[in-house]
Amino acid sequence: MYKIVDKKQLNEAVELMVIKAPYVARKCEPGQFIILRADNNSERIPLTIADYNREEETVTIIYQVVGYSTKVLYEKQVGDSVVDFVGPLGKPTELKKHKKVLGIGGGVGAAPLYPQIRKLHEMGVEVDVILGGRSDEYIILEEEFKAVTKNLYFATNDGSKGKEGFVTDILNELIANGEEYDEVIAIGPLVMMKAVVGITKPLNIQTAVSLNPVMIDGTGMCGGCRVTVGNEIKFACVDGPDFDGLLVDFDECLRRQNMYKEEEHSCRIGLEGGQNNA
């Protein structure tokens, strides 16, 4: 059992939770994730390690409440426990000592982006970041990013913070203004990452993305998280979740994501909460 030692609501749909998990806290690196089960009736949910504290043996996760299992997790209180907390899984991000990097975080994608940006900052790399969200309240980790970036830009759909529009509008502006980045790291919804690559690929700007297909076993055995990268089949759980965005077949990822959405809504094993997704 893994004890919840702290929790904080970041906005109406997103929560931060700190969990005592000594083994994961000792071993994990930016880019890796865990698979947890909130209780014995919950499904296994993969969540990125948003932060960790090796001394206190804790791991921070930041998650959006979207369905049954994240709702069960959300209802847990400080002092309660989760039954499984398996990890660290996936490959650590390969962070290069570039001169200048641009991070782009969409919605809850800012959570996995943060430890990568923090590490780049610690390595002495100059980093700018664009955070995007539906509105002001959906922008998370602003203070944390401010501490590790040179320029922090915001884009919101309704213009309530920063530029009205998408993160890609700011990316286009930065490029038009002559900003030069050695690498772009984009983490967020698939459509956002696809749109970012649509801009960076013709300019041949190295672009890393983090894919989050449906994962089941997290060991490369079930095939659930299959993605095509540079015409090769990869499994996001063991080969990723970070990949070279210029090589990812985003259209296939989007097709598979939509396919699973249908499945999730029709194939349930009679869990009371699962029916809420219908």
Ligand X SMILES: Cc1cc2nc3c(=O)[nH]c(=O)nc-3n(C[C@H](O)[C@H](O)[C@H](O)COP(=O)(O)OP(=O)(O)OC[C@H]3O[C@@H](n4cnc5c(N)ncnc54)[C@H](O)[C@@H]3O)c2cc1C
Task: Choose which of 222, 246, 254, 271 interacts with ligand FES (CB under 6 A).
Answer: 222
Residues 235-274, interacting with ligand FES (CB under 6 A): 235, 237
Phi first, then psi: give them for residue 19, nearest 5 degrees. Answer: -125, 135
Reported residue count of the chain is: 278
End-to-end CA distance of the chain: 31
List the x/- string, 66-105, binding to ligand X by CB under 6 A.
xxxxx-----------------------------------
Half-sphere exposure of 168 (CA within 13 A, CB side): 12
- Alpha-carbon distance of 201 to 35, in angstroms, equals 32
Whether residue 63 is annotated as binding a ligand: the answer is yes
253, 260 Cβ separation under 8 angstroms: no
Give the three-state DSSP class for 219. coil
Binding partner of 235, given ligand FES, ligand X, none, CB within 5-8 angstroms per partner class: ligand FES
Binding partner of 49, given ligand X, ligand FES, none, CB within 5-8 angstroms per partner class: none
**For ligand FES, which is the closer residue by CB, 89 or 205?**
89
**String of b and e for 155-183 (b: at least 16 CB within 10 Å)?**
bbeeeebbbebbbbebbeebbeeeeebeb
Specify the stretch interacting with ligand FES by CB under 6 A; choose among 52-60, 147-155, 183-191, 217-225. 217-225
Task: Choose which of 112, 115, 162, 188 interacts with ligand X (CB under 6 A).
Answer: 112
Identify the bridge partners of residue 45 per DSSP, sorted by sequence position.
36
**For ligand FES, which is the closer residue by CB, 13 or 216?**
216
Residues 18-37, interacting with ligand X (CB under 6 A): 33
- Alpha-carbon distance of 23 to 5, in angstroms, equals 16
127, 105 Cβ separation under 8 angstroms: no
Number of chain residues interacting with ligand X (CB under 6 A): 26
Whether residue 267 is annotated as binding a ligand: the answer is no
Half-sphere exposure of 151 (CA within 13 A, CB side): 13
> Which amino acids are annotated as binding site for FAD, given as ranges?
62-64
Q: Which residues bind ligand FES (CB under 6 A)?
A: 215-218, 220-225, 235, 237
Q: Which residues bind ligand X (CB under 6 A)?
A: 33, 43, 45-48, 62-64, 66-70, 108, 111-112, 212, 214-215, 241, 257, 260-261, 264, 277
